[in-house]
Chain A
């Protein structure tokens, strides 16, 4: 592969984002915006999950909880003191990042599996909390009236196009962050923990601190992905914010795509995301979740390194006949 440094990579990603944006604007179909918003959201979630799961080797089952925390902090702000969505994204990142840090601090000092179990329980508990909290709508849910258009510096922008643009930017930022981490000292720290935590500790890697950085970044990105969600969906109820599809997809997408590099979650999210958009329309949403589950089980058994791993093997075999 040609060596590309972080600055060049960022430029390439931003350019790619601009091309996608221009293309979407040229086609200009509302459904396309809605469908690709979901896929972009999954790119952010899968990349965020992979920063902790793929790079560090710690499984987070509570993606839905971190996502919902972002979404519900937006609902809270919407009722309490409305601010523009980019500010909400920052707030979502702060809330979910702090939650990630706290969860990590309580559970990561112990066995690795405790973190996974605690995140699994976190979703149930937060849902209980939200159901009982009337200010953010309780079990009835909350309506967020989305304006049709947005006035910005004298130009009117279609609101869904605006949301699409925000999520596209988030996806670009998440991918750049993931790749930068991968090639930084921090990323090597993550990899040592994934490969052998005891050896890492013995070699002087501050494992707890490094793991906490990973949980915080990962949680923060999930919160960012959730923050614009109430505006996208218009009516947020606990069961949609804590939907099982977020937990399962943010694990399945990197696992199926490949967990060792930033490409995996991207490939997984685009493939599974678009397949699900198609399947939800043509079959039913339960069947499409079943397919995701079966694919997850199949891939972890048969192709542990995902699609990226399969392609790399093929390339290696092709180079050395």
Chain B
């Protein structure tokens, strides 16, 4: 087969842009699942919620979706803290997180999705902004701003998170709680408080990820389900909780997905992440950057 070079290069470029966005969606799961060991399968539902909030303010007041999401972050933080508090009191404290905790998050996922369907319907929704439409050209590679802006925002979010967890006291405490909760308690730090903050933070990233999602593609409430496989595949491949690992894994998945949809058709793209997940679990369960 004669591979066309500009098609290949464009697919790789699009994949890298997409990968950075995937990293933003996965960032929250890297914190909750990777560091805190909370299997928050409802994370994509929070992302979609973020998308609809961006949509609502964009359509009604013409505010930039990314700006809306930054303002929404504290609200999502509080929401996440509240969810963790319920989770802790009902399941983690009683040692029932494996069965009932999972069912709880599944229920949340489901309730959020159905509520969004009831409020907004199942039509595809999109936002309007100046950067949706034009693209810049570097040589033969097209970089649509619709992808480039979310990519840059995602990288900014990601670097911010990385700085936060490595440089600040709370961030280091989050890393510590993921390694040894008891030791943290002995240092007179309340691990539950740290976990509540960390989980709040993970949900806060969903607000931004959601705004980026609706910039990239029109959405409807059940789009989130496609992301469950993706985010967990990336998180596991990146080595559970390793931020640089998550970024690399996300880029890798983005490129492979983009190549798949260019050369085999977009309808096959969702299957890629599952293949990634199964291969990782079968051959290197610790992930690329696993400890």
Contacts and interface: CB of A to CB of B under 8 A. Distances in A.
Interface of A: 53, 57, 59, 61, 106-107, 110, 112-114, 116-118, 120-122, 124-125, 128-129, 131-132, 194, 244, 248, 251-252, 255, 259, 286-287, 289-290, 292-294, 296-297, 300-301, 304
Contacts of B41: 61, 116-117, 120
17 contacts: A57-B99, A59-B98, A113-B33, A113-B102, A114-B281, A117-B228, A117-B236, A120-B41, A121-B232, A124-B228, A125-B274, A194-B99, A248-B106, A293-B110, A293-B114, A300-B90, A300-B107
A116 B100 CA distance: 12
Interface stretch (B68-76, B152-160, B265-273): B265-273
Given A120-B228, A301-B86, A113 B98 contact: yes
B210 to A, nearest CB: 19
Given A116-B41, A296-B103, A124 B114 contact: no
A124 B103 contact: no
Contacts of B228: 117, 120-121, 124
Contact of A117 (B39, B265, B267, B285): B39
Interface residues of B, number: 45
Given A117-B41, A286-B117, A106 B110 contact: no
Given A122-B274, A124-B274, A110 B90 contact: no
Contacts of B274: 121-122, 124-125
B233 interface: yes
Contacts of A113: 33, 39, 98, 102
A300 B104 contact: yes
Contacts of A106: 278, 281-282
Contacts of B20: none
Q: Tell me the dominant secondary structure on chain A's binding face.
A: helix
Nearest to B233: A121
Interface of B: 33, 39, 41, 86, 90-91, 94, 96, 98-100, 102-104, 106-108, 110-111, 113-115, 117-118, 222, 225-226, 228-229, 232-233, 236, 265, 267-268, 270-271, 273-275, 277-278, 281-282, 285
Nearest to A251: B103
A258 B115 CA distance: 26
A125 B107 CA distance: 21
Contacts of A116: 39, 41, 102
Contact of A61 (B99, B106, B282): B106
Given A128-B267, A293-B110, A300-B107, 8 more contacts: A110-B285, A114-B236, A121-B233, A121-B273, A128-B268, A132-B267, A244-B222, A293-B111
Contacts of B114: 286, 289-290, 293
A289 B270 contact: no
A213 B274 CA distance: 24
Contacts of B232: 117, 120-121
B281 A255 contact: no
Contacts of A120: 41, 228-229, 232
Contacts of B39: 113, 116-117
Nearest to B104: A300
Contacts of B236: 114, 117
